[in-house]
Amino acid sequence: MTSLQVRGVRKHYGETHALRGLNLDALAGEVLGIAGPNGAGKSTFVRILGGEETPDAGEILLDGVPFTLADRRGSVAIVHQEPQLFPNLTVTENLLLKRGSDGPMRPRATGRERQVLSELNLQRVADRPLESCSLVVWQLTEIARALLRDARLFLFDEPNSALADEESEQLFGHILRMREQTNRIVIIVSHRLRELVHYCDRVAVVREGECGAILAGPALTEEGLARELVVGQQPGTVETGKSGAPGAQRGDEVLLRLAGWTHRRRRFQDVEVELRPGDILTVMGVEGSGARELLQSIAGLEPAHGIREVAGRRDAQAIDAFLAYVPADRRTGLFPNFSIAANLTARLGVPAVASRWGRLLKSRLYALGRQLMGQFQIRARSPGQPVGTLSGGNQQKVAVGSASAKKPRLVVIEEPTRGVDLGTKAEIYHQLRQFAREGNAVLAFCTEVPEVFDLGQRVRVMSRGHLSDPFEVASAGSVQDLAGQLAKMTGAAPKASPG
Amino acid sequence: MPAKDARRLLGKRSAARLNVLRGIFLRRLSGLIAAIVLTMIVFTAINSFFLTYVNLIGLVRSMSTFTIIAFGETLVLVSGELDLSVGATYGIAAMTFGLLWMHGTPFVLALAAGLGIGVLIGLINAWITTVVRVPSFITTLGMLSLVQGVTFLISNSQSINPPSKLPGFGVFEALGGLEFPFRIPIQIAWLAAVAAIIAFVLHRTLFGFRLAAIGGNPQAARVAALPIRRYKLWVFAIAGACAALAGILDFSFIGSTTPSAGANLTFPVFAAVIIGGASLSGGRGTVLGTLIGAFFLSLLSNGLSLLGVGAFAQLIFVGLVTIGAVALDRWTTTWGGETQSIQL
């Protein structure tokens, strides 16, 4: 029976140690799950297994024989959340592309391809261009390609993050069927605890570049997994969620009210939210839960309908004036052709950086930029420096700074500290808390429990488009407690589709 | 604010500004200026007429109209769009103005109609690009052909030659043909005026600031709730107006206009803007850069004419230089590492 052994694999990028001696075993005939918080080294591990990176140390064995980089490239199939295929070609044509040279003629499907297509129930769509097919067809096509080149190891990297429930079941159905083959190893990397528990035989929890725990059998529960995921993660700051935003008077004014707020394509439904001055609400949810879309829709970047009142008003001007949105991806939030100062002040207009007649006051722009650089502790040589020369953490501070520069009453922020170091995290949390303390409100989307613990007073979980009831972060004694509670809340959320 | 603080702030501010200036000018334009000086030395060595007042004034005059269009195009490029229809707009503006005027419309109204049609074409381009969401490359490519067709249609494929007895002929002649003391043609004054206005708009107003933001990262501009559609409407309208003005000025200078006027302008306009450092992907571009880029192009054409290399060789050479200039720019900016140029 085929087995994969990973022994003491290490990998570092500059100062960052992504993997610190990872040990892992996988056997054919089982589905191995891998879970871990962001930055734990999961994606590095996936890249190493896929032959995209070489480890610094350690060995990978397949059936006891070293599994070399070239072998891995040939026989490891990675199914990504966004498959890397050719959307303009049909499903069949996508299968024919990597087949080597069959001469100068356009390749045609042979019995082998037809057989794989029928195994995966793809005959119906075989001649349709991929771009007109649903995402599950893309992923099944990716699996089909891997089957055709006799891949030994199937690695699913967040495969169902963008799939609807039914599609997800369909995909996992195929994954489970693959387990029956004795020469194939199946590994699923996912954030979705429910699916890991439901479909995997064992789940390895990767923490800080090592395999922290392996759960199997009765120990494999959502709550247990959630607790394991946050082991050893200390809150980033002294001021934890427990202390909330001390000194804040929770005002009577309603800064954000959503009622019956529903996404046009039903990514979320009937969302009710009320935020008052001093509130920090975090929304937790996995990719595809609808949480991200909820925040974007509040900022007017995703289509939704229902009631949305910002500071008591429903008009677009009020939203422009009182709400500032910070996207998760810095590439969509910053202007690469601008300096730091210009980025910090890009949302401002008359009178902050321009005269009544629209003349740009560069002196004020730079003075303001300098002031914001100080306030947000952005470390740079000068405000005139291109924003692209900053580190990721400092860029994130620029993104947060530019949103708060226009003095909104409500900041809507996606993953406030994605890809930033601990110290910077603490600074950003401090800024957001300070902002709330001054009589404003924060709505944040988080994917990690420690962030919720650090930042939020209240947390609500988005699951399949429905928002749970709020949970007071302060009532959880530790990050582990909170993780367990949140896992329960995810489980308790109603299903989007009846039945 | 205490005086000391103010002074400190001012000191820091000018330092920051100097940094930016260094970024833009030294890195991007110094190479271009060096190339210009070198070219001038070579041409002067070969033909001593090159470096005479008369020749240089004539050179700047000849570049003035396409450079006016290039200024409008610079704004369009900074906003992250393209306008390929400016050559056709140049032609139709002159033709519309001339035909209306020759058919009895008062001079001023006909002139306004000529400029107005440029603005109108710009607004249509902007509407199709931002509301219907056809990429501006396709919109304006179609508009180029469409407008050229309309120009042939309204002119009946005939050139027009306004007779000197028409009311307002004196003003018409003066628009593009007047000569100031020191033999400075009025076209240079037009060039300077448009340069000053566009430079002010692009580099000194909130409009220009936000425009560079919109072109630099359209997604971030959406996140920041900037008025993207309204700004692009303005930009295309200004580009149309610049093209129309240039067409009318040349009509006046030559004294006649043909239905195909402006058909050859797409190359020099884009070459000037791109050599001047504007980015085709938006967010970067300066009026000074475009001006120097246009000067460099004119210089090459003029010098090569003086050398008598012939029109075909000239085309080949100018094409090579355009590609070379941008290649060199790419090479120096990537070679320069982290010190990329920034707009503000």
Helix, coil or strand: residue A410: strand
Helix, coil or strand: residue A248: coil
Using alpha carbons, select from B231, B235, B239 the residue that is nearest to residue B210.
B231
Segment B314-343, tens digit of pLDDT: 899 889 988 988 887 777 665 544 345 566
Task: Report the C-alpha gap between B320 and A475 in whole angstroms.
Answer: 72
Buried b (16+ CB within 10 A) or exposed e, A381-396: ebbbbbbbbbeebbbb
Judge: A301–B223 Cβ closer than 8 Å, yes or no: yes
Judge: A339–B9 Cβ closer than 8 Å, yes or no: no
Domains and CATH numbers, chain B: 26-335 (1.10.3470)
**Range from A76-85, A289-298, A450-459, B304-313 carrying the lowest mean pLDDT:** A76-85
Task: Report the C-alpha gap between B161 and B151 in whole angstroms.
Answer: 15
Distances (CA, A) of A149 to A50, A93, A187: 14, 15, 18
Cα diameter, chain B: 72
Distances (CA, A) of A349 to A345, A358, A360: 8, 8, 9
Judge: B209–A389 Cβ closer than 8 Å, yes or no: no
Segment B54-83, tens digit of pLDDT: 999 999 999 999 999 999 999 999 999 999
Q: With 50 as the cut, is the pLDDT of residue A124 above it?
A: yes
Contacts of A362 in chain B (CB under 8 A): 13, 17, 344
Segment A361-417, tens digit of pLDDT: 989 999 999 999 999 988 888 898 888 888 888 899 999 999 989 899 999 999 888
Taking CA A43 as the corner, what is the angle to CA A390 and CA A139, rounded to the nearest 5 degrees?
A: 120
Using alpha carbons, select from A240, A281, A293 the residue that is nearest to residue A411.
A281
- Identify the closest residue of chain B to A342 by CA–CA distance: B344
Q: Residue ranges of chain B with pLDDT lower than 50?
A: 1-22, 336-339
Question: Is A333 in the B-facing interface, judged by CB distances under 8 Å?
Answer: yes
- Cα B23 from chain centroid? 23
Inter-residue contact B159 to B251 (CB < 8 Å): no
Task: Indicate the DSSP class of residue A267.
Answer: S
- Identify the closest residue of chain B to A413 by CA–CA distance: B223
Q: What is the mean pLDDT of residues A203-226?
A: 86
Q: With 80 as the cut, is the pLDDT of residue A199 above it?
A: yes
Q: What pLDDT is recorded for position B335?
A: 52
Q: What pLDDT is recorded for position B328?
A: 76
The reply to whether omega before A351 is within 30° of 0 (cis) is yes
Task: Report the C-alpha gap between A400 and A415 in whole angstroms.
Answer: 11
Distances (CA, A) of A13 to A19, A44, A57, A233: 10, 10, 13, 21
Is pLDDT larger for residue A139 or for residue B254?
A: B254
Question: Is A359 in the B-facing interface, judged by CB distances under 8 Å?
Answer: yes
Inter-residue contact A278 to A261 (CB < 8 Å): no
Judge: A359–B344 Cβ closer than 8 Å, yes or no: no
Contacts of B10 in chain A (CB under 8 A): 363
Helix, coil or strand: residue A20: strand
Kindly write down the DSSP assignment for every residue of A194-221, as one continuous string: HHHHHH-SEEEEEETTEEEEEEEGGG--
> ipTM for the complex?
0.81
Task: Report the C-alpha gap between B60 and B295 in whole angstroms.
Answer: 7
Contacts of A366 in chain B (CB under 8 A): 12-13, 16-17
Question: Is A370 in the B-facing interface, judged by CB distances under 8 Å?
Answer: yes
Inter-residue contact B336 to B22 (CB < 8 Å): no
Question: How distant is the Cα of A446 from the closest Cα of chain B, in angstroms?
Answer: 19
Question: Is A301 in the B-facing interface, judged by CB distances under 8 Å?
Answer: yes
Judge: B209–A360 Cβ closer than 8 Å, yes or no: yes
Contacts of A326 in chain B (CB under 8 A): 223
Q: Average pLDDT over chain A, rounded to whole?
A: 84
Using alpha carbons, select from A187, A230, A246 the residue that is nearest to residue A434.
A246
Q: What pLDDT is recorded for position B135?
A: 96
Amino acid occupying residue A79: V
Task: Indicate the DSSP class of residue A106.
Answer: P
Q: Provide the token pair at B192.
A: 């300077």
Q: What pLDDT is recorded for position A32?
A: 92
pLDDT grade for A102, boundaries at 50, 70 and 90:
low
Q: With 50 as the cut, is the pLDDT of residue A499 above it?
A: no
Q: Closest CB to A366: pick one of B16, B207, B284.
A: B16
Q: Provide the token pair at B171.
A: 């003003």
By the 10 Å C-beta count (0-12 exposed, 13-18 middle, 19+ buried), A427 is classed as buried
Judge: A337–B225 Cβ closer than 8 Å, yes or no: no
Is pLDDT larger for residue B54 or for residue A106?
A: B54
Contacts of A294 (CB under 8 A, 6+ apart): A261, A263, A267, A268, A271, A283, A445, A462, A467
Contacts of B284 in chain A (CB under 8 A): 337
Judge: B342–A386 Cβ closer than 8 Å, yes or no: yes
Q: CB count, 10 Å around CB of A152?
A: 20
Task: Report the C-alpha gap between A172 and A130 in whole angstroms.
Answer: 20
Judge: B344–A342 Cβ closer than 8 Å, yes or no: yes
Question: Is A351 in the B-facing interface, judged by CB distances under 8 Å?
Answer: no
By the 10 Å C-beta count (0-12 exposed, 13-18 middle, 19+ buried), A166 is classed as exposed
Task: Report the C-alpha gap between B32 and B16 in whole angstroms.
Answer: 24
- Which residues of B make CB contacts under 8 Å with A? 9-10, 12-13, 15-17, 19-20, 23, 203-210, 212-213, 215-217, 219-226, 279, 283-284, 338-340, 342-344
Contacts of A383 in chain B (CB under 8 A): 16
pLDDT grade for A100, boundaries at 50, 70 and 90:
low
Residue B162 CB-half CA count within 13 A: 31
Inter-residue contact A345 to A368 (CB < 8 Å): yes
Question: Is A214 in the B-facing interface, judged by CB distances under 8 Å?
Answer: no
Question: How distant is the Cα of A257 from the closest Cα of chain B, in angstroms?
Answer: 20
Range ranked top by mean pLDDT from A11-15, A83-87, B200-204: B200-204
Contacts of A483 (CB under 8 A, 6+ apart): A226, A227, A229, A230, A449
Q: What is the mean pLDDT of residues A213-225?
A: 86
Q: What pLDDT is recorded for position A244?
A: 46
Q: What pLDDT is recorded for position B148?
A: 97
Q: With 60 as the cut, is the pLDDT of residue A234 above it?
A: no
Judge: B17–A346 Cβ closer than 8 Å, yes or no: no
Question: How distant is the Cα of A221 from the closest Cα of chain B, in angstroms?
Answer: 40
Q: With 90 as the cut, is the pLDDT of residue A219 above it?
A: no
Judge: A360–B212 Cβ closer than 8 Å, yes or no: no
- Total residues belonging to chain B: 344
For chain A, percent of residues with pLDDT exceeding 70: 92
Q: What pLDDT is recorded for position B11?
A: 45
**Mutation site for B-interface testing, chosen from A296, A335, A350, A364 by largest number of B Cβ within 10 Å:** A335
Q: With 80 as the cut, is the pLDDT of residue A241 above it?
A: no
Judge: A342–B209 Cβ closer than 8 Å, yes or no: yes
* HEC sequence for chain B: CCHHHHHHHHHHHHHHHHHHHHHHHHHHHHHHHHHHHHHHHHHHHHCCCCCCHHHHHHHHHHHHHHHHHHHHHHHHHHCCCCCCCHHHHHHHHHHHHHHHHHCCCCHHHHHHHHHHHHHHHHHHHHHHHHCCCCCHHHHHHHHHHHHHHHHHHHHCCCCECCCCCCCCHHHHHHHHHCEEHHHEEHHHHHHHHHHHHHHHHHHHEHHHHHHHHHHHCHHHHHHCCCCHHHHHHHHHHHHHHHHHHHHHHHHHHHCCECCCCCCCCHHHHHHHHHHCCCCCCCCCCCHHHHHHHHHHHHHHHHHHHHHCCCHHHHHHHHHHHHHHHHHHHHHHHHHCCCCCCCCC
Q: What pLDDT is recorded for position B337?
A: 42
- Cα A72 from chain centroid? 27
Q: Which H or E element spans position A396?
A: helix A392-405
Domains and CATH numbers, chain A: 3-229 (3.40.50.300), 241-334+407-492 (3.40.50.300)
pLDDT grade for A498, boundaries at 50, 70 and 90:
very low
Distances (CA, A) of A254 to A245, A295, A403: 17, 17, 20
